[in-house]
Amino acid sequence: MCGRYASTRNPATLAVEFDAVDETEGVAPTGYNIAPTTPVLSVVTRHPRDSQGVPDQARMVRSIRVMRWGLVPHWAKDPSIGSRLINARAESAASKPAFRAAVAKRRCLLPADGWYEWQRPAGRAGNPARGTRKQPFFITPADGSGLAMAGLWSIWRPPEATAPPLATCAVLTTDAVGPLAEIHDRMPLILPAQAWQAWLDPDWDDPSELLAPPSAQLVHALELRPVSTAVNNVRRDGPELIERLEPEQPALLDLDQIR
């Protein structure tokens, strides 16, 4: 699964990295502790539309946009459903009413520095030790580069004609690969750069070949970094959250949790 991640590169930097146009209009929702239902940066490819709203099928534009994490299907009566649709299983998303239209036509990339997973210490015979605090890990490219999580997006229009439409997204998840499975059985679907164009193509309606778990080579390039439990508090933010927690180093005391 993916319930928290870091994304600190600004839209201008991402526009260069993803060969995209910055359409964020000065909004830069970046941070070290991005949580569901908050604004995030995304990458999409669409046919540009003229003043009448007619798409130009001969052209496609890749852009950096702001969306809210938690997909709200276009048919939803209430946008609060998005809080329950932050992730979509890659194996079954195409058959789910909430996601199948997005799988076919509205796929995106969610740029990230890395994501967090929590591992519960093992008890006897490998069984989880109940009552013990989970250890958070920050999973990030070992070379310091960024990564792109496969996502789905949707546009929800409020019943009030004057209210602006809401762009939302979800992270696709898949079975954890290699050493990641020792921390959690699920992981975000990470796509290599050579798959970006096909994944974002709005005219390609069967991306099933890209929905498989990432290669072992890609996963082996990731660092599994234990970090402080300070990340547990969504109000905490800053580079200290992704610093490696050394074995003899105690977890940072979260004053907000004891007040």
The token pair that represents 28 in the structure block:
């830069």
pLDDT, position 258: 42
Domain residue spans of the chain: 5-258
On whether the pTM is more than 0.85, the answer is yes
Backbone angles phi, psi at 46, to 5 degrees: -140, 160
Helix (H) or strand (E) holding 256, with range, is helix 255-258
Partnered with residue 41 across adjacent β-strands are 66
Cα distance between residue 69 and residue 32, in whole Å: 15
In the chain the beta strands, taken as DSSP E runs, fall at 5-7, 21-22, 31-34, 39-46, 61-69, 87-89, 107-112, 114-119, 135-141, 147-156, 166-175, 186-188, 222-226
Class of domain 5-258: alpha beta
Q: What does each of the 259 residues of the chain score in pLDDT, given as a tens digit?
A: 689 999 999 999 999 999 999 999 888 899 999 999 999 999 999 998 877 777 888 889 999 999 999 999 999 999 999 999 999 999 999 999 999 999 999 999 999 999 999 998 764 445 555 557 899 999 999 999 999 999 999 999 998 878 899 999 999 999 999 999 999 999 999 999 999 999 999 999 999 999 999 999 999 999 999 999 999 999 999 999 999 998 765 555 554 544 4
Cα distance between residue 216 and residue 200, in whole Å: 23
Indicate which residues carry an active-site annotation. 2, 117
Contact (CB, 8 A) for 64 and 42:
yes
Burial class (CB in 10 A: 0-12, 13-18, 19+), 1: middle
pLDDT, position 128: 53
